[in-house]
Chain A
Amino acid sequence: MSVKKQERRDFIGMAFGAVAAVGGAFALVGMKKSWDPLPSVKAAGFTTVDLSPMQAGEFRQVEWRKKPIFIIKKNADMKPNPARDVVIGEDKYMVAIGLCTHLGCIPSWSPSDMMFKCACHGGEFDASGVNTFGPPPRPLDIPPFKIDGTKLVLGEEGPEYKKLAGIA
């Protein structure tokens, strides 16, 4: 086969390679996006919780975006934590996503020793949601929220949230 012909075949090969690479790249993007959460899932919206009926020392669990949210209205026995407490008027609340920061189990609130205990690998968090023992690498995450009177709107980033998250 002459050199010329070989060059022509090389060119066809390279042209094919280019078409395949471009097509493949687009296909990969499409496949990646098919696995993304659906718009209906993303629009799971906001959850509004009225905090006014809560008693001091009460623990409550609500759901937001399929995640459990822990809320505690702190009483005098619970140490305030200015870096994490949500303050509404006189009252301090602990608000956190109730998923252990280790591997995502739901720790349970034990009112007798005022601690969250994660049964999975023995992690513990105090009443402010700060990890005190075991494998969890960081305190419980604080969900984005906004304060609207005595109501807590989960899913929206209000100024109070930005302050706690250190992004204001």
Chain B
Amino acid sequence: MAHITKATSVKDWFDQRIALTKLWNVLAGQYWIPKNINFLWAMGVILTVLFTVLFVTGLLLVMYYKPDANLAFDSVNYTIMQEVEYGWLWRHMHAVAASVIFLIIYIHAFVGIYYGSYKKGREMIWISGMLLFLVFSAEAFSGYMLPWGQMSYWAAQVITQLFGGVPVIGDALVEWIRGDYAVSDPTLTRFFMLHVCLLPIVLIMIIVIHFYTLRVPHVNNLEGEEIDFELEAEKYLSGDTKNSKVIPFWPGFLSKDFMYVSFFMIFFTYLVGFHFGFAMDPINFDPANAAKTPTHIYPEWYFLWQYEILRGFFFDIGPMKAADLGALAMAFAGISLFFMPLYDRSDVVAPAHKRKGFFVWFWLLIIDLIILTVYGKLPPTGFNAWIGFFSSVAYLALLLVVLPVITIMERKGNK
């Protein structure tokens, strides 16, 4: 046991028992961050804030929400929206945060791609990040179902039906997931469990892992420069703060982050107050009706690109059925970015504007994703179907063919 002496202060009392100062230094005070990073690196802290907003508003909503197919719709649209004081606020904050968090996740991820932050020792940061994206998708989807409106219901119907594509056990699997022959009360209650209990626990665990993965290779920077963090930290600690290339997370980096968080939260509050509608689908204000499909089904904006890839393959190719091709392509799209470190065969870590081929590739990918997103919302008929097809193929080709080729060329050119 540690040698305990009479404490000289409250802080000392805790230091002797749970080494508070040491913990603080490890977590923030001596956690080193490079100096040359800009606001794009603030997304991580903004995401943490948004997740906290979702968590807290979620707690307030759960107090009045009723996970029952007969009560759910009214508990949201009547009790929470009309009766509970400030219930509307929590609901709109929850919905807007759920939508905006995907915007920030996408920015966060594509900044990572642009600066090559997924390679050369930083693979685990990338992979745990992608894992977070995947679980966040499941969290968003299970939450989307809970108000039990028409779009909730049919989104659940379509997404659970996707598992019917699994060979042999498909139909049984769909029934098992739904707990009924069609999406109904048991489906609602199990998704409720996933949304408010299991998935949040998993999310929090992966968030912690994601933070931890930053510890060893450290965060990348604007130039992709390799920094000797120990050396620079020593410089900083010895008083040469000016020449050191790093600053401690607290107070240096976080204070700047807080400024961006403030900007962001003003924007967020504006959305919640004046434009919450974009996170709400009008069709979802009709109660779920198992006997009538809405004429046009589409997911929230952040899943549109994957949805369009699902729809993109609308004709059979050889022995492959269109539906299976689409489902396969979408399943792949969902996990495709996990393998970024594998597609990129060059070990240059530099921002895209310093890697010509990669730069062009990056913007092509962004344009393709925007096209997929736009067309994912449009009806899949005639000409639109073909655009969907070509942009889906383009997505697969950009990742699986173009990126390896240009990065291998880059590697050869560098020799």
* CB nearest neighbor in A for B289: A106
Chain B interfacial residues counted at CB < 8 A: 37
Q: Are A38 and B179 in contact (CB under 8 A)?
A: yes
Flag the segment in B53-61, B206-214, B320-328 that touches A. Answer: B320-328
- Is A63 interfacial (CB-CB < 8 Å)? yes
30 CB-based A-B contacts, threshold 8 Å: A32-B176, A35-B177, A36-B176, A36-B179, A37-B178, A41-B180, A41-B181, A44-B181, A65-B181, A66-B180, A66-B184, A67-B181, A68-B290, A103-B158, A105-B154, A105-B157, A105-B158, A105-B293, A108-B293, A119-B294, A119-B379, A120-B158, A120-B293, A120-B297, A122-B379, A135-B314, A135-B323, A137-B321, A137-B323, A137-B324
Q: Contact string, B308-333, partner A, CB cutoff 8 A, digits 1/0?
A: 00010110000001111010000000
Q: Find chain B residues with CB under 8 A from A104 CB.
A: 157-158, 161, 164
In the complex, what's the smallest C-beta–C-beta distance from A79 to chain B, in angstroms?
Answer: 23
Q: Find chain B residues with CB under 8 A from A162 CB.
A: none
Starting from the known contacts A61-B291, A65-B182, 18 additional A-B residue pairs (CB-CB under 8 Å) come to: A35-B190, A37-B175, A38-B186, A41-B186, A66-B181, A67-B181, A102-B323, A103-B157, A103-B158, A103-B162, A103-B323, A104-B157, A106-B291, A108-B293, A119-B294, A121-B380, A122-B385, A137-B322
In the complex, what's the smallest C-beta–C-beta distance from A152 to chain B, in angstroms?
Answer: 18
Q: Find chain A residues with CB under 8 A from B295 CB.
A: 119
Q: Find chain B residues with CB under 8 A from A105 CB.
A: 154, 157-158, 293, 297
Interface of A is mostly: loop
CA distance A151 to B158 in the complex (A): 32
In the complex, what's the smallest C-beta–C-beta distance from B341 to chain A, in angstroms?
Answer: 33
CA distance A44 to B181 in the complex (A): 10
- Is B381 interfacial (CB-CB < 8 Å)? yes
Segment 96-139 of A: residues with Cβ below 8 Å from B: 101-108, 119-122, 134-137
Q: Are A103 and B161 in contact (CB under 8 A)?
A: yes
| Residue from the list B154, B184, B190, B311 in contact with A121, Cβ < 8 A | B311
Q: Are B180 and A106 in contact (CB under 8 A)?
A: no
Q: Find chain B residues with CB under 8 A from A137 CB.
A: 321-324
A41 and B179 contact, Cβ closer than 8 Å, known pairs A106-B293, A122-B314:
yes
In the complex, what's the smallest C-beta–C-beta distance from B144 to chain A, in angstroms?
Answer: 16
Q: Find chain A residues with CB under 8 A from B176 CB.
A: 32, 35-37
- Is B296 interfacial (CB-CB < 8 Å)? yes
In the complex, what's the smallest C-beta–C-beta distance from A109 to chain B, in angstroms?
Answer: 12
| Residue from the list A37, A107, A136 in contact with B323, Cβ < 8 A | A136
**Among all A-B residue pairs, the 3 with the closest Cβ atoms:** A104-B161, A66-B182, A137-B321
Q: Find chain B residues with CB under 8 A from A122 CB.
A: 314, 379-381, 385
In the complex, what's the smallest C-beta–C-beta distance from B147 to chain A, in angstroms?
Answer: 20
Q: Find chain A residues with CB under 8 A from B3 CB.
A: none
Q: Are A135 and B311 in contact (CB under 8 A)?
A: yes
In the complex, what's the smallest C-beta–C-beta distance from B297 to chain A, in angstroms?
Answer: 5
In the complex, what's the smallest C-beta–C-beta distance from A122 to chain B, in angstroms?
Answer: 5
Q: Find chain B residues with CB under 8 A from A37 CB.
A: 175-176, 178-181, 186
Q: Contact string, A32-72, partner B, CB cutoff 8 A, digits 1/0?
A: 10011110010010000000000000000101011110000
